[in-house]
Structure 1
Amino acid sequence: MLRFEDVIKGCIRNDNKSKEMVYKSFYGYLMAVILRYTNNRTEAEELVNDTFIKVFKSIHLFIFPSEIPYAEKAFKAWIGKIASRTAIDFLRTRKSFLSIDDFTEEAEPVSSINVISALNVKDILKLLDDLPEIQRLIFNLFEIEGFSHQEIAKIFKIPESSSRVYLTRAKQKLRTLYSNTLINTYETN
């Protein structure tokens, strides 16, 4: 069995078997990442393939961590960021989904209900589909992908405060959706 490092080096040498191993190993992961941005399966499949093209073109730039056992985790994070940016670039070209009002964080009250912390990851991902697109994207980038508000602001060319407000709105909407889901669940039982 090949070590992960050898597979990546094979990809750098343009070895098709190594590329196939990476493709088969990470296809499901990248599909999950992309589906958080677009819930259209056909678009997602295309974006996953676009992501792999970008990964294989730039795989020589991947830097192995000093501790080899963490190489696969580092690679997964690296390709996850490529997938996120590929999805965002696609959404950006598809339509203009940002309508930015000049608002401040103070104008958005923060709810004291802490329903989000009790949510299961699967529940959140299901509820994300009901968020407006910009809120879903910012929630994904910040809460799931680990981007900072500064990075998100650069990606969308918006003020950092707008990123924070969209995240706050997304969390409030998720709380409402979650509460409604709980109410519906109790009413049907």
Structure 2
Amino acid sequence: MPEYTSAVLQELLDGCLQRNRRCQELLYKQFYGYAMSICLRYTRNREEAKEILNDGFMKVFTKLESFDPNRSFKTWLTRIMINTALDHYRHEVRNNVFDDVETADQVSVDETVISKLSHEELIGLIQKLTPSYRLVFSLSVIDGYTHEEIAEQLNISVGASKSNLSRAREKLREMLSRINIDNYDRVAR
């Protein structure tokens, strides 16, 4: 679908404010891929991501009057999708244990292996992380939240955020190492 100009986007948004179903459908279709890519980072699978995406779009349509047209719609949409994913997480996984460690070692991930992975493969690895690791990793590494912001969003300590990020990186490094070993075994045969 072609990229909408700001005038066309504004017409769609105006139509959505008037509850025009066709405008809502066009807005949904235009931003589906973008919003889905955000939701996939915070979920275990595509079905869960679709649920969050649809809940997020319901928020978009019901809270559209609060959108400032002088700002970027994509930025506003991103924030809604992330917050919807966090709400989903809080609702579904109330008993998740976050480790509280005041300091955490930084574990680097092999950049050469990552550069060879497709976007889908990388998202697949992130989805294999536990919910607490996946959330902290996505918020910090992908969406640029600080540990203080993550701690506030998830109601955990800053140390727990750092610890979960460190452990998420370690788990990803282990998964990437297995990919390297598997690729080596295939080539060696």
Alignment of 1:1-189 (within 5 A): 3-65=8-70, 74-105=72-103, 108-111=104-107, 113-116=108-111, 119-120=114-115, 122=119, 123-189=121-187
Size of the alignment, in residue pairs? 179
Q: Say whether the 8 Å CA contact 2:125–2:175 is kept in structure 1.
A: yes
5+ residue gaps, structure 1, are 66-70
Report the RMSD for the aligned CA atoms in angstroms: 2.2
TM-score between both structures, scaled by the size of structure 2: 0.82
How far apart are 1:77 and its partner, in Å?
2.3
Q: Deviations over 1:97-144 (max 9, x none)?
A: 531343211xx3334x55147513624212112212111111111122
Q: Deviations over 1:61-102 (max 9, x none)?
A: 11233xxxxx6xx21221122112212211221232531343
Q: Larger RCO: Structure 1 or Structure 2 (Cα < 8 Å, ≥ 6 residues apart)?
A: 2
> Using the alignment, how far apart are the partners of 1:101 and 1:22 within structure 2?
40
Q: Say whether the 8 Å CA contact 1:128–1:174 is kept in structure 2.
A: yes
Q: Secondary structure at the match of 1:3?
A: helix
Q: Secondary structure at the match of 2:44?
A: coil
Query: Compared with structure 1, are the counterparts of its residues 134 and 182 closer, same or farther at alpha carbon in structure 2 (3 Å cutoff)?
Result: same
5+ residue gaps, structure 2, are none
How far apart are 1:188 and its partner, in Å?
0.8
Query: Compared with structure 1, are the counterparts of its residues 25 and 79 closer, same or farther at alpha carbon in structure 2 (3 Å cutoff)?
Result: same
Query: Compared with structure 1, are the counterparts of its residues 109 and 40 closer, same or farther at alpha carbon in structure 2 (3 Å cutoff)?
Result: closer
> Using the alignment, how far apart are the partners of 2:99 and 2:32 within structure 1?
38
Q: Secondary structure at the match of 2:177?
A: helix
Q: Deviations over 1:6-63 (max 9, x none)?
A: 2222222322222121011112222222222223333332222211110011111112
Q: Say whether the 8 Å CA contact 1:10–1:19 is kept in structure 2.
A: yes
Query: Compared with structure 1, are the counterparts of its residues 162 and 42 closer, same or farther at alpha carbon in structure 2 (3 Å cutoff)?
Result: same
